Amino acid sequence: MTARTEVVERDRWSSARFWRTPAADLAETPEAYLLLVQVPGADGKRLRVVLERERLTVTAPPASGSSGVPAARDTGRGRTFTREFLLGGDIRAEGMDASLSDGVLTIKLYKSEKARPREIAIQ
């Protein structure tokens, strides 16, 4: 019924028992796309954001000690967040920014020159 249930289902079918799919928000500004990935409890030092061709992969292992509470059932805490995003062709490969704050990873993907809005001067 809820998204949470669906994630569990997906995990079961893909046998990805050690992974967790983080929620993500997407926003657009005139010069960039902003991708906000929710990775509560992630270890900032071991966080990886890899852009390979058009495939952006986010891997965020949990901070050691953060999941020190054994749960009565497996709720997925303590698993590594991982998610892949396929980008369109209008992203500039270089100059990607990523920052982690309060468990939210913000990735700024700059648009290529041709994808930016252009103002045309009227003569």
| Residues binding other proteins (CB under 8 A) | 1-4, 23-30, 33-34, 36, 38-42, 44, 63, 66, 69-72, 75, 77, 83-91, 102-104, 115
- 61: tokens are 């292992």
Name the DSSP class of 118. -
Look at the block and give the residue holding tokens 């003569």.
123
Question: φ and ψ at 84, to 5 degrees?
Answer: -110, 140
Q: Which CB, 96 or 104, lies closer to other proteins?
A: 104
Which residue's CB is nearer to other proteins, number 1 or number 122?
1
In contact, 74 and 67? CB cutoff 8 Å: no
Shortest Cβ distance from residue 30 to other proteins (Å)? 5
Please, what is the minimum distance in Å from the beta carbon of residue 94 to other proteins? 18
Q: How far apart are the first and last CA of the chain?
A: 58
Q: How far is the CB of 62 from other proteins (least distance, A)?
A: 9
